[in-house]
Structure 1
């Protein structure tokens, strides 16, 4: 043994040091990837590797945004699509939350509902498009309900799992103090399941954008999907690129909203990798 008390050849372990990163630094690093893609896109268009009939250049896409915004088409389409997505998402979140609490908190609800819901969950929601068109026609109802179905199951699975993971001893202790079922769910179960609920919300909001794309293929006469359909008919790759970017920004916005909710509702949690 050496003077340090360690076996020869071994070194004294050093504690891992973590450097806190500022939000400005993290935000800057996050923008590098999109900026690199934008530069590659611009370079490919400038050198002729990407021709306008394949994909419009960034400058042409910017001109298309100005054109669509100036004539009011883009604001109207955004309003229509966001309304569809929001209504479907709200229905899906409410249904998933209620069903998840029912099956996760009560044995009878679990026995009656869980197997049926799990079976329905395995059906791809895109396969329901023809059936919804037969049932509800080509109006707004079919579009909103398709989004609702797509967003129900992620919220259900996360809620049910989060409720089941609540400490049973804590629940029994609260029951012994005379707390009723509704108060128990509101004061104990839901706060304990909050991380799972937010995870379900993140998945459901992302799926609401994906389902919106599918829903707007149901003979839409307004919305971003309608703009894409019209642009496809006239081979306007600049407008097609605008619509794709809008869908991407909607998904990114949904993710940012959930991240903000996590910081507000769970301020004690450190974002993963923030101090590495």
Structure 2
């Protein structure tokens, strides 16, 4: 197909198509698509797909039947023993097996479905059996709820954004940000040692103002002031004690600037 420039047509997002050529020169092989099938009891039907591969010539048929494992026919599922007919060029069929929704049965049970007695020139491949497991909805719901409780994060604790200056000062003047239930002795010690920095950094505008840009720039101002203070204090201490500049830089200036700055940057 040729599209001229005058038509002013454009290609859409889907420009590639997958074309499957079916081999209709041979009858092919018949098998289950999956060796294991899972089905919830409340669904009502277990759908099992049978596929015809390596050929689709002619009309063929194959029988299928169910066998108990630990599930019981008529109690957990409705047994079948029927014939599947594939027309010419037909490559798949779905077997629908009714499942009994009995709330008294609380454990998972399984049964087997088997292909046998092919007609015509069709052959059954190695995967001629599949296991259907009926899952109990109650156990599934309990497991899902447990997983949700384990992975569900506490958004309030993870949230960095502070809405007001008042909230920032409240968090700064309370141990562990006011979360006393999880506060340990180590929290009290750490908050006591860093109280001055926490109080000063609470003056940084909250990130709710100007989309956080004001917090970003004011934080750099605080970092510059802090760096100057630490540098001057370290220089005076160096003169009094007589340490080398390199030792003073490693022991006092680097920790004195880096640790408080981490608290400032956490506000951004």
Which TM-score band (shorter chain)?
under 0.3
1 or 2, which has the higher strand percentage?
2
TM value normalised by structure 1: 0.20
TM value normalised by structure 2: 0.21
- Select the structure with the greater relative contact order (CA < 8 A; seq sep ≥ 6): 1
1 or 2, which has the higher helix percentage?
1
